[in-house]
Amino acid sequence: MDLIGDARFVLLGEATHGTHEFYRARAEITKRLIREKGFSFVAWEADWPDALRVNRYIRGHSPDQDAAEALGDFERFPVWMWRNADIVDLVGWLRSHNEQLPPGQPKTGVYGLDLYSLHRSIDSVIRYLDKMNPQAAKEARRRYGCFEDFGDDPQIYGMLASRDRTSSCENEVVEQLLELQRHAADFLGRDGRMAADELFFAKQNARVAKDAEHYYRAMYRGRPNTWNLRDTHMVDTLEHLMSHLERQGERPKAIIWAHNSHLGDARATDMSKRGELNVGQLVRERHADEAVLVGFSTHSGTVTAAADWGEPAERKRVLPGMADSFEELFHEVNMPAFLLTLRDHRTLHRALARPRLQRAIGVIYRPETERWSHYFHAHLSEQFDAVIHFDETRAVEPLERTSQWERGEIPETYPTGV
């Protein structure tokens, strides 16, 4: 908390997308930032419309009966990233916190920064316009109807549109966003803050549709291009949120949850050699000392992850940190958990000056190809302002436990063939 000081952007990473200790620590830091430093919202590495349902629940504008139900729109792989026990606890706390605020005090929000929700965002724009202006909704259906020939899989659209530019729906999604922006004043009515929020939510869904269309076409032109589009979209979404809240008379402060690979400054890692940037780099470039970047690490334990994209969640054993990695170095400290504050700490800067391997486990974990699938080189003291290490960790608990996840409890010595 001392390190964060008066910062307006706190970026809380994770070394995996499935570790309980990372979720729990980020939740506790988040609660303190909201209670003690007046932070305005939490922004997740999640899709905008899915997180918006949670936002409405914690602000008391939702028919959902509890936190688990409010997380119901998180249906796309990897479901466990947000539909897990730790997130349910946090969402419940956010609802309770908002209910206890005095009348007139701005409520804390939850928002998604990602851009995968092409069709769900399109549906959200049309539903908004159905309520506000049926004729405008009819025009939106006509424009977005461009995607109907490609089915429900946006990757199929991306593949075909990248081969034949005449199949592209780029003009239609741009036109629809501009149309919403042109007629914004007509949709505000006399409902004050609620109307302004709903209009902003609809415009952001239109932005998601525009950027998602670009992203899916770019998928077939190489990783740096799509990675940079995605992370730039996330930071632009963050900026739009800040501007919207400022227009409502607030001085907003943001807590961002995403993987270390998004939130640690890309310029301090192998990513920069591939021409990749990320959220951490862009936030530092735009906001300098107003941002604090916090990374997380673990040496061993278990993790919730899949064997491949779209596969069921499994509870997998995490291999011990490799030789010459930060994970191995931290393990040698022989402490169960600790915090390293790296900003303005010359001794630590010198001690951690040379690059080491750093592990990144996403939604897929392949221990059989651990070195090539999950490690890269990083200058830790340039990558983060602080790092929190948990030496042994356990898998985050999905709300829907599959048989594959439950079998993860079987000891490694269990007889094979049984």
- 8 A C-beta contact, residue 379 and residue 355: yes
Report if residue 248 sits inside a domain: no
Model pLDDT, residue 409: 54
Number of domains in the chain: 2
- pLDDT classification of 417: cutoffs 50, 70, 90: very low
Least confident of 54-68, 74-88, 177-191: 177-191
The continuous run of DSSP H or E covering 24 comes out as helix 20-37
The one-letter amino acid at 182? R
Q: How would residue 359 be classed by pLDDT, with cut points 50, 70 and 90?
A: very high
Same structural domain for residues 135 and 214? yes
Count Cβ atoms below 10 Å from residue 176 Cβ, excluding itself: 24
Residue 78: domain span: 1-114+253-418
Q: How confident is the model at residue 348 (pLDDT cuts 50, 70, 90)?
A: confident
Q: Are residues 352 and 378 in the same domain?
A: yes
Kindly state whether residues 365 and 385 are assigned to the same domain. yes
Instruction: Give the whole-angstrom CA distance, residue 121 versus residue 209.
Output: 6
Indicate if 90 and 5 belong to the same structural domain: yes
Quick one: 398 and 305 in the same domain? Answer: yes
Backbone φ, ψ for residue 193 (5° rounding): -60, -40
Same domain, 123 and 97: no
The Cα 207–Cα 201 span in angstroms is 10
- DSSP letter at 2 equals T
The model's pLDDT over 363-408, given as tens digits with 9 standing for 90+, comes to 999 999 999 999 999 999 999 999 999 999 999 999 998 888 988 7
Domain annotation covers residue 242? no
Residues 85 and 156 in one domain: no
Which are the contacts of 209, defined by CB distance < 8 A and separation ≥ 6?
118, 121, 122, 125, 144, 173, 176, 177
Predicted confidence at residue 418, as pLDDT, reads 30
Crossing angle for the helix pair 118-132 and 134-144, to the nearest 10 degrees: 160
DSSP secondary structure letters along 213-259:
HHHHHHGGG-HHHHHHHHHHHHHHHHHHHHHHHHHTT----EEEE--
Do 413 and 267 share a structural domain?
Answer: yes
* H or E stretch at 274: none
- Tens-digit pLDDT profile for residues 271-301: 999 999 999 999 999 999 999 999 999 999 9
Last residue of a domain, one of 234, 268, 301: 234
Q: 32 vs 189, which has greater pLDDT?
A: 32
In a domain, 240, yes or no: no
Q: What pTM value is reported for the model?
A: 0.94
**243 belongs to a structural domain:** no
Asked if 11 and 160 sit in the same domain, the reply is: no
Q: Report if residue 285 sits inside a domain.
A: yes
- Same domain for 178 and 207, yes or no, is yes
- Whether the ω angle into residue 312 lies within 30 degrees of 0, i.e. cis, is no
CA count, 13 A, side-chain hemisphere, 26? 31
